[in-house]
Structure 1
């Protein structure tokens, strides 16, 4: 493949090794990371097709390197140690190619759409590669360039016309990683929520490869993040009456929007019983959004009973998704993180009460935090993406500080202490 890519100095492995890595990417990793491996056996088809169609360009070469880098890194994470060097070399080479090409483009508007789409796919692939490595810095240059491309590729005026399957797949991928990234709090969204909502609504009710039926909820996350950031900025300052009234009102508006999404899903499942398996992820994601509002906008401590109920409901949904192999568990890192940082320890020697499979309740000595920890352990083992172990460290530090859930501690403070960039994907 080095001759095909036209660069004799390339660090690409030999053809047989590339074939093994690509086989792993297409038939194992792409299925593993699909929201629903039955509906979407290859969540990365658009990346494969785009790389193959553009292999003669620098953008296509970079995307090809990114695919190989991600897949070989995941192979290393799963115990195939011989792939670490290949992954590291391709990660350095491919990211340098794509960032240099974008640096050479003064105006994205003057670039052919095919190249812009290929560059966007390449940036997404290297973001996933860094997530797989467990990187906690160096994301912002990729996010900055993604925003440049998205401003041209996804405009409000284009939304009613719809997108090709390939472009919509990449749009979903951008929204997915944008909603889960801490860059959202520091620099705002890559796509304006009004624009993302317009596109998401063109395919409302259709399951997608990463987000299932929840894509409209992802459009709400940037609005929640804005309020979370606003509340966090006021942690050590006095609120005026007007500021308090405004932020509480905006939080209530978002809660009302989330309630409308719940009702929409209820109606959809009633009319389309075949969609019932998708409600678990949608409900869990919606609850995580509510928890972010209640705990990190309105600053309710995890010990608040309304918060504890939401945590219990989300834990039950996540456990059911995992045990029954329902769609969405692989996309649930941010949900698990949010539920974990909002969970509590028992305050006395009485056991917690958790629901049984028969709809009643039973006494158990398993605390909410233990249940969350077990979900983390399962997800870390199943996905083998090292960023999950990083986020687990944030959770543990917050648990160490918030006195079992009685004290409000902001996860953004923990992140600032660590000086990390992280994507909870």
Structure 2
């Protein structure tokens, strides 16, 4: 009986939900290659004295099907996930109309096992939470229940595995996808605690899945997409400063260089810059941990030389981008075919805005939180204004990357001052003409925060804005060096600036 019930659940999922996960899933379903090839029970009659089906299923090891909404509700949530959320969170909606393609495909292929079902729970939890954030209040309960039970399945399964290297790669990838989905769910909720267990398990899986020896051979598109997703969220998490990166920078750099010059669905052309961020974070944490203690001559030489080396590395990335855009204004046709079924050949010049803004944010972290320059320093003010102009242009012209710019907006905000920009603002207005601006850098940053919060509806942005406001309150004129990690410690928060 239990087997028949589980088969019926899989059949219902395939008929009502699988088509909404991806076009591939829908095509597979129509051709018979789907996880629903299991037959339905021969009879549908259930005696009134029969045990409660939901209670029976929920008692099955690793299964929490009792909280799954009905098929129609699941289909509505998954349609929202596919048609709205997947494109909203894409770095470039033209190149990548579905930012979650790898998750969709993995969930569809593995719905018959606990890891796949947990990933399905995570997709439903994230999408329904976002629907709630956007004002559809009836989805909060569904999101909370699925978030709790689905994450428990993933974490328990990983706890039961002594060595992840010994399980099938397909299960490892599915568990990795599940962890990432629940990290995104917690980000969407605005959680400020409970991320450590997820990143501990991410490190285990990444060590098995992404080895330095494998890098020259390359990865499948799906596997590389998950690698990028790990690097993206890991780079933006405060755990990077306390526990270090989930993937060794040497390993991530080796993989990123295999696809240098190819835009990605979360990071665009900037993936190599994400490989540098762990080294910056290590110096930022070192400077903060030193506090008000006296610096010896050797300590000063050491940290300043490391900071200068990182600045030189960032400058090399700037030069690389200049040469790349100048020499390859379009992606080769073969690459376009890999990225999207569209025959269009996208112009790479539009991708430089995010790359430049991200690089400047890295420089600001070095100058303000390693070398301890105050926001009022002229070199800092110049970088802040350049980054603000890039971000404003990206938002106004709907250029690729604005949805991935939370950490950039945060960094620019905490490095900004009340000094007003009296020069002409080159950001186009609605008529396409430059406009005069006489607002402070902090006002410009605050406006960007408001725009991003309204557009994305991820509650972690409101949390990070509280950190910014506290720092501004403690450094009203921008003449002091106030470390954002100190504010975070006062709040006792874990946060991911994704």
- CA separation of 1:41 and 1:351: change in aligned 2, threshold 3 A: closer
Q: Which runs of 5+ in 2 are unaligned?
A: 1-5, 14-53, 59-64, 330-346
Using the TM superposition, give the Cα deviation of residue 26 of structure 1 relative to its aligned residue in structure 2, in angstroms.
Answer: 1.0
Matches within 5 A, 1:287-302: 287-302=360-375
- Structure 2 residue corresponding to 1:353, chosen from 402, 414, 423: 423
Match of residue 42, structure 1, among 87, 92, 98? 98
> Which runs of structure 2 are paired with 1:52-63 in the superposition (5 Å)?
52-63=108-119
Contact kept, 8 Å, 2:427 with 2:435, in 1: the verdict is no
Evaluate the alpha carbon distance shift between residue 235 and residue 361 of structure 1 in structure 2; reply closer, same or farther with a 3 A threshold: farther
**Whole-angstrom CA distance in 2 between matches of 1:292 and 1:354:** 27
Residue 354 of structure 1 deviates from its aligned partner by 4.5
The aligned counterpart of 2:27 is: none
TM-score normalised by length of structure 2:
0.83
Equivalent residues in 2 for 1:292-371 (5 A)? 292-346=365-419, 352-357=422-427, 364-371=437-444
Q: Name the structure, 1 or 2, with higher relative contact order (CA <8 Å, separation 6+).
A: 1
Rounded Cα–Cα distance in structure 1 between residues aligned with 2:222 and 2:142: 28
Q: Does 1:8 align with 2:64?
A: no
CA contact (8 A) 2:393 2:427 kept: no
CA contact (8 A) 1:353 1:361 kept: no
Moved more, 353-362 or 123-132: 353-362
Instruction: Give distance in 2, aligned partners of 1:139 and 1:68.
Output: 19
CA distance in 2, matches of 1:157, 1:79: 48
Contact kept in structure 1, 2:90 and 2:98, CA below 8 Å: yes
Contact 2:234 2:245 in 1 (8 A): yes
Once the 2 structures are TM-superposed, how far is the Cα of residue 176 of structure 1 from its aligned partner?
Answer: 0.1
Q: Kindly tell me: are residues 266 and 293 of structure 1, through their superposed partners in 2, closer, same or farther at Cα, counting changes over 3 Å?
A: same
SS at match of 2:263: coil
C-alpha change, 1:34 and 1:141, in structure 2 (3 Å) is same
Matches within 5 A, 1:241-280: 241-273=297-329, 274-280=347-353
Shift of 1:361: 8.5
Mapped to 2, the partners of 1:312 and 1:153 lie a distance apart of 41
Query: For 2:121, which of 60, 65, 77 is the aligned residue?
Result: 65
Larger Rg: 2
Cα shift at 1:353: 2.8
Q: Structure 2 CA distance, aligned partners of 1:270 and 1:355?
A: 26
**Is the CA contact (8 Å cut-off) linking 2:389 and 2:427 kept in structure 1?**
no
Q: Indicate conservation of the 8 Å contact 1:353/1:362, yes or no.
A: no
Q: Distance in 1 between matches of 2:185 and 2:70?
A: 21
Q: Structure 1: any 5+ residue segments left out of the alignment? A: none
TM superposition shift of 1:279 = 0.2
Contact preservation (8 Å) 1:352, 1:365: yes
TM-score, length of structure 1 as denominator length: 0.97
SS in 1 for 2:214: helix
Partner of 2:57, secondary structure, is coil
Inter-partner Cα distance in structure 1 for 2:290 and 2:434? 41
Alignment partners' CA distance in 2, 1:176 and 1:362: 34
CA deviation after TM superposition for structure 1 residue 225, in Å: 0.1
Distance (Å, rounded) in 2 between the aligned partners of 1:94 and 1:207: 32
Give a deviation string over 1:335-384, Cα, whole Å, max 9, x none.
000000000003xxx76335335899875331100000000000000000
Residue by residue over 1:75-96, the C-alpha shift from the partner in whole angstroms, topping out at 9 and shown as x without a partner, is 0000111000000000011001
Check whether the contact 1:351–1:363 (CA below 8 A) recurs between aligned residues: no
The structural deviation recorded for 1:272 is 1.8
